[in-house]
Amino acid sequence: MPTTLSQSDLPGLELIHRGKVRDVYALPGNRLLMVATDRLSAFDVVLPDPIPGKGEMLTQISNFWFEKTRHIIPNHLTGEDVASVLPAGVDPALYAKRAVITKRLKPVPVEAIARGYIIGSGWKAYQATGEICGIRLPQGLEQAQQLPEPIFTPSTKAAVGDHDENVSFDVVVDAVGGDLANAVREATLAIYAFAAAYAAERGVIIADTKLEFGTDEHGVLHVMDEMLTPDSSRFWPADNYQRGISPPSYDKQFVRDYLEALGWNKTPPAPKVPADVIEGTAAKYAEALDKLAGIRLT
């Protein structure tokens, strides 16, 4: 059975970051140990109830995509065995499928988002302005409609408890420089195009996805953190898709829809999540992992 871990505890290792989902520890040799917990965030707020096995599923699907896209861009994985760096007395089975050893990169301070369909915050922005992140879109688009071509719509990286904010490409250029901004945009759209085509052959629409990048000591751009997971992407079953509505999904939209129905103001503390929503969310993640990567956690 999948393990459950709300918060990692690795005595003797230096915890350098506890994010919404991942706990990150420093390792010798300019490396990191990244642990995907079963915490779930929605609307940039960490929910009080974990989703059992979620961290294992996120890690396995990320590892799948990192391998699949190595021809497009390098990634942060070193390929080393996690058990080799765990402190004595820690059960390696708890971390085997949810943790990875990575290169320690310099993060690019932007959420790199590719959208192939108009949904979520992009749909709301389009309704208000006819644009997303300064990109003018055709008039008369419907909710969940496929865009004429995928677009790059970056956002700021929010701290835990804060909300990401959509920004224009010019803001990214000002923040990191034109060469790096262009490289991030090109890599994001190339990864999205490859993954969307791969998923389509398996009956899954990738509506959008959020990626993170970093540079190594030589300035080489890498994709890092997580990749094309149900936490960072919208996955829709192609056979149930129709435009004009928010389609059913394999991702945490299931939880978002529940929270929206509560009328919660999207600020901490988050409401508790009932057992049936927890179980339903875990099932959605498992189905995505199976459909896209052919992996079933047992």
- Tell me if the bond preceding 248 is cis, omega within 30° of 0: no
| Whether 164 and 224 share a structural domain | yes
Task: Please say whether the beta carbons of 28 and 251 come within 8 A.
Answer: no
> Do 93 and 157 fall within a single domain?
no
Residue 115 and residue 96 share a domain: no
Q: Give residue 35's domain range.
A: 14-104
Rounded Cα distance, 275 and 237, in Å: 24
85/126 same-domain check: no
Residue 40 sits at the vertex; the CA angle it makes with 70 and 44, to the nearest 5 degrees, is 90
Termini Cα distance of the chain: 5
Residue 37 and residue 116 in one domain: no
Q: Which helix (H) or strand (E) holds 64?
A: helix 54-68
- Short-list 63, 34, 38, CA closest to 282: 38
Quote the pLDDT of residue 159: 55
User: How many angstroms separate the CA atoms of 295 and 139, rounded?
Assistant: 41
What is the CATH number for 67?
3.30.200.20
Decide: helix, strand or coil at residue 122. Answer: helix
3-state DSSP call for residue 106?
strand
Is 223 within 8 Å of 215 (Cβ atoms)? no
90 and 233 part of one domain? no
Q: How many domains does the chain have?
A: 2
- Same domain for 90 and 204? no
Residues 6+ apart with CB under 8 A from 28: none
Mean pLDDT by 10 residues, the chain (298 residues): 92 95 97 97 90 95 98 98 96 96 97 96 95 96 98 80 78 96 98 98 97 97 96 93 92 84 93 93 92 89
Non-local (6+) Cβ contacts of 7 within 8 A are: 18, 23, 37, 39
Query: 98 and 114: one domain?
Result: no
Domain end marker among 104, 121, 149? 104
| CATH number for the domain harbouring residue 158 | 3.30.470.20
What pLDDT is recorded for position 163?
A: 57
